[in-house]
Structure 1
Amino acid sequence: MSHDPYLADPTRYDSMQYRRSGKSGLRLPGVSLGLWHNFGGANNADTMRETMRTAFDLGVTHYDLANNYGPPPGSAEENFGRIFAQDLKPYRDEIIVSTKAGYDMWPGPYGDFGSRKYLLASLDQSLARMGLDYVDVFYHHRPDPDTPIEESMMALDSAVRSGKALYAGISNYGPDATRAAIDILRDLGTPLLIHQFSYSMYERGPEEELIGALESEGVGSIVFSPLAQGLLTDRYLKGVPEGSRVTHSQFLNENQLSQTYLDRTRALNDIAAGRGQSLAQLAIQWVLRGDHITSALVGASSAEQLRNTVASLDFPALTDDEIAAIEPHAVHGTHRGA
């Protein structure tokens, strides 16, 4: 790709949809770029750079990371930081950067879960890797069964009060723990901005309680795996392509490609085709139907893939009849081979 100085597309805000995160003042793009799988040490530097540039040119102002993203852990933040310094630093005030801590990151008892010691040290390390003075959102990545939730939330409050983060978030918390986190942070004076969780046509557990709790408390929501790790694309409808994620991922296996999965996914693919879009585009529109989800996090292995995903926002909103037609095929657990 060209290594000329980067100038952002002047039309970048013309077509992107921005949604308010709960009752906060912050709006996020309907599609946000997650740097989970495609920004590690082994990924192509030019491809990563082109993808990040393209995201911003499309109005995708939000880049989502975590301390352990890679592999190896930390490398996604390092790669993001290098590209940010090359291209995006002049636009810092137009960009939302989030990171997280909560999973195993370094040896010993202080490099995992939810202690104040771990969370605040991890944030300092993340800022150093990215070359940033602050992140916009700092998340506790998962609840810690052995650390009082008050301690983890006080660490998020401290991160915000120190100026190293602007907002506090949580990820992978169940409904009860989410309500507790909301109450504690509200009492501390640092309201919870957003919750990040897995949600898709095939992962509908959050509909039971979590989404309603967030809405009633005025907290935003950003969902990961809206394509169910690629299962909500047309990739596997004719068998398993050589080298695809299902052949080497710890999250996917060929047992998930059951006849039930194929039948449901083909039916959804037909609905998408009837709308003139891909199944992936339909899946993104479905999680964003109504206004109960703030943003959908997507990974992208190329700029072209990201363009195709963001184009999902250009299609007409799903009608009630289309949502009803999708319903029999959007079955919780299908992604697990049900």
Structure 2
Amino acid sequence: MIPRFSTLIRHNWPSIWGLHLLSFIVTSGLSIGAALLAYLIFIPFVIVIGLVGVSSGVSSDFGEALNQFPTEYGVAFSTIMITLIILLQALAQAIPYSYYYSGLFGVFKEMIARQAPNTNTLMTSGFSRFVKSSLLYFTIFLILSIPFLCLVIIIQLDQAEVLSFSWILFLVMITILLFIFTALSLMHAPIIFTLEQRSIADSILSSVRVTFTSLGKVILSALTYIGINFIIVLFLGLGILFIPLMIVAKGIAPVQVLIGILLFFYGLFFVFFLIPFIHAVSLKSIVYRYYKHIRPPCYPHDPSNISSSAIVESKLANSIPSDDKNEGNIIIKWH
């Protein structure tokens, strides 16, 4: 039987915080590399635009050709540039997100099954199927961008300004609603891909199917995620209260120094502990609710259900003589 969510957090909070902080550090490095890769792709494209502008007679000067290209080609140029920026942004986000979420999902899976997450689990899960995982997040980002891309194209095509402000506002609201529903539909795709070891297409389709069959549970998972992250906002507001205290204590040097020291340590606590810990807990809540509430109805006859297989293998592990136990070599099978 799956432990209570509060029990998992209480027993594993040091691991949740430490592994998430480590994951964030590695992800930051991957983000820098992905951003550099995106720029390396973007720069040649800009050069090609300039050369095309010069060769097509837009201007004989390279710099002037770049400036005149948008005016000369209008909507087509804007659409191409926006699409390119979306593609590069998707690439820059997919690479670090692939490691970040895959690693943490692997840690949460291990935690729910054995309550013993470790650094090896984070690294192994993060870089397992890394290319396919990056393609999954790239695909998800592109799908989420479609409503906004359509909105931009519609506005760009409205050269005669036929659309009134109210119509544009209506289209923006529809776009936001489509984005929210699409995000809900794809929310479990990374979890299914990482923990169920499914293909990219099957993960996305299964996530959409889960949304339509268990919409209430999916919405509740999303609200739980948002609600837990809102704790960060509350603590941020608490930290802002130090500013009025500094103003009130103006002219009282000892009090200002004391408030400054408190604010410094509060900032360290907020940045290096609270944000990583709360965000990790919010992600874990989605994985936990998936296993406890969403997965069983979707896979009622699947023997890999955590409530049965994890307990069986845990008993097998406990039956091994203590001298021969090797925690690092005990593998819990989910399929």
- Give the structure with higher Rg (CA): 2
Higher strand proportion (structure 1 or 2): 1
Instruction: Specify if TM > 0.5.
Output: no
Normalised by the length of structure 2, the TM-score is 0.23
TM-score, scaled relative to structure 1: 0.23
Q: Whose helix proportion is higher, 1 or 2? A: 2
